[in-house]
Structure 1
């Protein structure tokens, strides 16, 4: 346990990271934000609830406490845009997905404040990720990282029309082996739609930690929120969730089995 994240250590080759699941905003930051920002609408809602089976089947899980509005843990600390030319959010976002301002006039974080948040919140999470992946690799000879995300089914700022349900990203094949991708794509996701390396190719964490040549495989899943919640009310829909959870469990079991298979061969 840390002041800014929770880490649950499992006994398998899989680590599940949920970098946008946090909902807290420290008081000193909240006082500079708009009321709309404090509603944290762009959260990857209920990821811990959707993956509540993961710990029982051996996966490690790491989740931050703070909202992505405080600092986006899935962005490059240099500020480099993950999708050049796209209207992306920043390391410390100043606008919501709908382009509404997150800060009161003249209260947006300056470079000194951004650096402070990197040190307080970004670095500890990434250090914990690196440490846990290293521990897993030392034990099993390989490590699998699942970046668990979700997003509204319609976000005009980022994509046109409705997003597919399951959006897998592997940095165009650089963050994990082709064999693992094929096993994931062979899962029966029906009736849900799926795509690999479509609009979402994997964020900074996937790209930074995935190194298949070193037997560290990273895969991002951007799950459309329409599959498990009421997107307008931002509430969990138990009926919908219970239908999609078996697909998520099949994914997690596939990733764990792949890691164990590598460990056995090694």
Structure 2
């Protein structure tokens, strides 16, 4: 199994896909409770949802599951959301707060997973961002995510359809943030929020250096916007997807068109 799948494009936009993979080594599967083996916290079908939306886009996808190690968490283990319920570098619970391990990974196991998988994903992502930046003088990282719209353990109420994260506007040029927000706000039949419960994970915060020409933005989609229902078997709903994809295409195309105006400031 190749831990990271890369498709190189010629354009200025790089799509990060850290949570769509479902592969786990047999020895890790054996450590999980039955609940953990359901892999409920996957970003189901996100790579399919975005496929083909922007010709020339580069994609970097983790093939391994986030229960092995979460490629969108700080490798030091520091929480992205201090004081709030969340899951860590190697999650000990699922998004509902239920333990997922029969035998929890040891610190040595966590470090081995970080070195083998987390580091491999970010080495690939970093290399592609640098390649794109060298070609265009700018690189835009669009980090693709999804999550159930109702998870009381993580947040109150119902999540909006589009959850845009720029860590309070620090990870990209204001024009990038404004363009994405405008498209989401005018998408008929959908709700959106900027820097709400999800402000951007470690990937967005780590790579977003707009003063150097690296712009990063995270999109957390509510799974109700494109799945038949937010429960197993997590079926992709083609009709919902067909309604959503034009808005995502508009976002990505707009970012690619915006790239030449950004550069290093």
Same fold flag (TM > 0.5): yes
Structure 2 unmatched ranges of 5 or more: none
Structure 1 unmatched ranges of 5 or more: none
Pair 1:59-2:44 in alignment: no
What are the equivalent positions in structure 2 for 1:21-36 lying under 5 Å apart?
21-36=20-35
Q: What is the alpha-carbon distance in structure 2 between the residues aligned to residue 142 and residue 180 of structure 1? A: 12
| Matching residue of 1:83 | 81
Normalised to the residue count of structure 1, the TM-score between the two structures is 0.95
**CA deviation after TM superposition for structure 1 residue 232, in Å:** 2.2
CA contact (8 A) 2:198 2:220 kept: yes
**CA deviation after TM superposition for structure 1 residue 199, in Å:** 0.8
Q: What is the alpha-carbon distance in structure 1 between the residues aligned to residue 74 and residue 36 of structure 2? A: 22
Pair 1:181-2:143 in alignment: no
Pair 1:259-2:255 in alignment: no
CA offset digits 1:17-73 (Å, max 9, x no partner): 01011111111111111111111010000011101113x511101111111111000
SS of residue paired to 2:163: strand
**CA deviation after TM superposition for structure 1 residue 223, in Å:** 0.3
Match of 1:195 among 171, 193, 213: 193
| Matching residue of 2:125 | 129
| Matching residue of 1:116 | 112
CA contact (8 A) 2:75 2:89 kept: yes
Q: What is the alpha-carbon distance in structure 2 between the residues aligned to residue 260 and residue 236 of structure 1? A: 35
SS of residue paired to 1:243: helix
How many corresponding residue pairs?
A: 261
Q: What is the alpha-carbon distance in structure 2 between the residues aligned to residue 31 and residue 157 of structure 1? A: 26
**CA deviation after TM superposition for structure 1 residue 255, in Å:** 1.2
| Matching residue of 2:40 | 41
| Matching residue of 1:208 | 206
Structure 1 runs of 4+ aligned residues shifted over 3 Å read: 260-263
| Matching residue of 1:250 | 250
SS of residue paired to 2:219: strand
Q: What is the root-mean-square deviation of aligned Cα atoms in Å?
A: 1.4
Q: What is the alpha-carbon distance in structure 1 between the residues aligned to residue 167 and residue 231 of structure 2? A: 31
Q: What is the alpha-carbon distance in structure 2 between the residues aligned to residue 77 and residue 261 of structure 1? A: 33
CA offset digits 1:57-100 (Å, max 9, x no partner): 11101111111111000001111010110111010011111112
